[in-house]
Structure 1
Amino acid sequence: MSADWYIIRTAGFLRRKKAIGPLSELELLSRIDSGEIQPQTLMRSERKTRDRWVEMHKVGPAFAHFKGISEEKKRGG
C-alpha cells in the first residue's frame, strides 16, 4: 500500500453514518488488526478509490491484510 490517507464511515449514534479520518495507512492497518474495520466498512481515498465510497473488500491491499490476519487467527498464531 502506498502512503495515502483514508476516511472510513461507521455507524454512529442512532445508526447515523459517521466519517472518521483522515487515517494514515498504518492507522488503517491497525484498525483492521483490532477488528474495528470489517470487509463491509465503507472507506474513501483520493488515490485508491478515486474519492468514492467503496467497501473495504474492494480495496485490494487492505482486504489482503484482513485475510492474512483472519487466516492467522484460524491457525491459532
Structure 2
Amino acid sequence: MSDEDLSARVTLLEETIAHQSRTIEDLSGEIAGQWKIIDQLQFRLERLTEQFRALEDATLEAPAVTKPPHY
C-alpha cells in the first residue's frame, strides 16, 4: 500500500467521522427538544387529570334525599 493510498484512506476516515459526529450532535439536539416537549405534555396531562377528577367528584355527589312536596 502506497503512502498516497494510506493518506487517502485516512482522509476518508476523518471525513466519515466528522459527518458522523455532526449527525450525532444533530440527533442529540432533536432528542433534547423532544424530551422538553414530552415534559410539557406530561405536566399538561397531570393538570387536566386533576381538573377532570375535580369535576368528576363535584358531579358524582349524591343528591340530598328529600320528600317531594306532595307528601
Give the TM interval when normalised to the shorter protein. under 0.3
Larger-Rg structure: 2
Q: TM-score, normalised by structure 2?
A: 0.27
Ranked by relative contact order (alpha carbons within 8 Å, sequence separation 6 or more), the top structure is 1
Q: TM-score, normalised by structure 1?
A: 0.26
